[in-house]
Amino acid sequence: MLLAACSGTTPYRQEGEKNLEVRPALSGVRASLHIHQLDAQCNTHYEGSLTLDRPVELALPTERSSLLIVGFDTSSFFGGARSTARRYVLKPRAGYRYRLEVRYKDDIYDVAAVELSPNGRARALELDGECGAIVPQRDR
């Protein structure tokens, strides 16, 4: 299955079980998700992109790191055009599901990641580790 992508990019090709849900909540901004394979030396290989104009579920390979880049594009008559991006590395585990909440409102960009265990327990993920990997937050 192919998902629609931004103009001039390669649509992300879905293979395998859907394990990532992306929920955009955007006000006055366009957003896209760019997916890259990431190796142990932090080298990347572009796999595809999709526009975040509605909630979407997709398949990321398990037990392999993927670099997820969420790009935000805003434009206004007086402010001109602006772009910013958030980069995350995710290594999905077999049997687990993941959720990205992509939000923008009043000049605040936010991406939150959650890991859902097979028994349904949700655990927030944070940016940490090698190559900026997303890992479970430490129990406090």
Question: Alpha-carbon distance 56 to 32, whole Å?
Answer: 12
Residue 43 has a CB neighbour count (10 Å cut-off) of 10
> What's the maximum distance between 2 C-alpha atoms anywhere in the chain?
50
* Burial label, 103 (beta-carbon count in 10 A; 0-12, 13-18, 19+): middle
Query: pTM of whole model > 0.85?
Result: no
Q: Give residue-wise pLDDT tens across range 78-122.
A: 655 677 888 888 999 999 999 999 998 877 888 899 999 999 899
Model pLDDT for residues 56-81, shown as the tens digit of each residue: 999 999 988 899 999 998 765 565 56
Domain map (residue ranges) of the chain: 20-136
- Please name the CATH architecture into which domain 20-136 falls: Sandwich (2.60)
Q: Measure the CA–CA gap between 119 and 135, rounded to whole angstroms.
A: 19
